Amino acid sequence: MTGRAWAVLAVLCGAIFLEGVDVAMLNVALPSIRADLGLSTGTAGGVVSAYVLGYGGFMLFGGRAADLLGRRRMFVFWMTVFLVFSGLGGFATTGWMLLIARFVTGVAAAFLAPAGLSLVTTSFAEGPVRDKALLVYSGIAAGGFSLGMVAGGLLTALGWRWVFFAPVALSAVILVGVLALVRDSEVPQRVRGGFDVLGALTVTGAMLLLVYGVVRLEHPGESAVLTAAVFAVGLLLLALFVVIERRSEAPLVRLGILRSANVLRTTIVGLLFQGSFAGFQFVGTLYLQEVRGWSAVQTGLAMVVIGIDAILAPTLTPRLVRRFGTARVIFVGMLLASVAYLLFLPMNIDWAYAAMLPTMLLLGLAFALVYGPLTIAGTDGVAEQEHGLAGGLLYTGFQFGFALGISAVTAVTVASGPIAIGGLRTALVVPVTAALVAVVVAASGLSSRTSCAGNLEEGSLVR
């Protein structure tokens, strides 16, 4: 790859790294934010949920908007929004200011993620070069989340507002880099019949309600009738969206893409993989901080080993993908994740870190084998003009998985009573089950043809 190719990739990796760091740092800083602003438990939880609502609710809209309105244009605009509202979050003095800032930041991320992924897939020629770029991209994304836990602990020690101000500085650097280096591979598509506004409104409303319904599951004491109503209206809007798309001259989402077994399988595995890890992280954090009394920095350092995928993804994974194909690599990665969660089940009050280390190492390897190959498989066989949509579907799966994993584990933990080893072991069954189901789904792709190295030569670089 040329120097310019690496520079383009570095800028786009910076954006996905920023998203991972931003989420992880806030999770670590939340107790300090709650204490300083005097937030209630519900408002503090809402700070996390607001981001999830914005991200999950607008992801499909964001993915298609990148294809129709221009990937670079969407990326630059929403990175600017991300920068502004992250800064506003740092100046928040009340809970509602923080809630608004996090919701809009989540919306910005929903447009950034598919735009960034489709910029990678369309900037690098299909084949080994694109695969390598995607594996580096995904490795940096996962590494950012792991390192964000440590960075969040360190920045919180200086003051929780730095958790919001640090992303502002990184966003500014990324914006300069994108404006200088990145260009769209093609002009935005012309939309016959106008932009599908009604489709965009219905799918966004459906996603918002469904994510909100999932978030409500975290609190079993809340009205079950209201939760059921939220899900019902969300599903009704989703059905209405399907009807609109079938009749639209220029649909926001071409429903034919959902007939692709590869796209569906990739999205489901992504949902289960992210959900299992989100649930494990929640259980692990409670175990280390609430049961063992470790600090936020110590907890982050304990889990930072998972970040080895940032090294393995661009070095080991490309060779494995070329030799065995994405389906086999993903399958083995999900097996390793399942074993990792099972190894954590015997946790007890005086467990040495050496007993936890195998789980952390296996999860780092699992991320290297699953996350990157999923981004390759997610656009494999999809027309270039729909890469944003395919990326939106994959990231929607990731975000729903995150929300479902946290909600399911939280519900089990709350139902088990005060935080204790027994309740946490029970809650850990959720990520174990999700990972095992993902193994079964991933196995269904072993018989299908998967992209291994592509048909283009290594010399094909940035277009």
pLDDT score, position 343: 96
CB atoms within 10 A of CB 35: 11
CATH code for the part of the protein at 1-184? 1.20.1250.20
Q: Which one-letter DSSP state was computed for residue 25?
A: H
Higher pLDDT, 223 or 6: 6
Evaluate if residue 19 carries a pLDDT over 50. yes
H or E stretch at 73: helix 71-90
* pLDDT at position 194: 56
Other C-beta atoms within 10 Å of 277: how many? 28
pLDDT at 454 over 50: no
In this structure, what DSSP letter does residue 190 have?
A: P
The lowest-confidence range among 138-142, 293-297, 450-454 is 450-454
Q: Is the pLDDT of residue 91 over 90?
A: yes
Mean pLDDT of the chain, nearest integer:
83
Q: Comparing 387 with 354, which gets the higher pLDDT? A: 354
pLDDT of res. 51: 85
- Please state, for a pLDDT cut of 70, what percent of the chain lies above it: 92
Alpha carbon 267 to its chain centroid, in Å, reads: 12
More confident residue, 57 or 453: 57
Q: What is the arithmetic mean of pLDDT over 232-237?
A: 92
Task: Give me the residue spans of the domains in the chain.
Answer: 1-184, 197-251, 253-446
Q: Using 50, 70 and 90 to split pLDDT, how confident is the model at 42? A: low
Evaluate if residue 48 carries a pLDDT over 50. Answer: yes
Cα Rg of the chain (Å, integer): 21
Could you tell me which residue, 421 or 77, shows the higher pLDDT?
77
Q: What is the DSSP string of 84-135?
A: HHHHHHHT--SHHHHHHHHHHHHHHHHHHHHHHHHHHHHHB-TTHHHHHHHH
* Architecture of the 253-446 domain: Up-down Bundle (1.20)
> How confident is the model at residue 455, as a pLDDT?
36
How confident is residue 152, by pLDDT bands cut at 50, 70 and 90? Answer: confident
Give the best-scoring range by mean pLDDT among 101-105, 115-119, 204-208: 101-105
The answer, yes or no, to whether residue 40 has pLDDT greater than 90, is: no
| CB contact at 8 A, 337 and 435 | yes
The mean per-residue pLDDT over the stretch 445-458 comes to 49
Contact 62, 392 (CB under 8 A): yes
pLDDT recorded at residue 450: 43
Confidence band for 333, pLDDT divided at 50, 70 and 90: very high
Q: Could you give the percent of the chain with pLDDT greater than 90?
A: 27
Average pLDDT over residues 123-128: 81
Mean pLDDT, residues 233-250: 87
pLDDT score, position 185? 58
- Asked if the model's pLDDT at residue 380 lies above 80, the reply is no
The model's pLDDT over 392-409, given as tens digits with 9 standing for 90+, comes to 788 888 877 887 888 788
pLDDT (0 to 100) of residue 256? 79
d(CA 230, CA 343): 37
Give the per-residue pLDDT at 458.
Answer: 36
H/E stretch holding 54:
helix 41-69
The predicted pLDDT at position 452 comes to: 41
Q: What is the mean pLDDT of residues 230-253?
A: 86
Of 228 and 314, which is predicted with more confidence? 228
Is 78 exposed, middle or buried, given 0-12, 13-18 or 19+ CB atoms closer than 10 A? Answer: buried
Structure tokens at 227: 């939760």
Across 110-137, average pLDDT? 84
Asked whether this chain's domains 1-184 and 253-446 adopt the same fold, the reply is: yes
For residue 203, the model assigns a pLDDT of 81
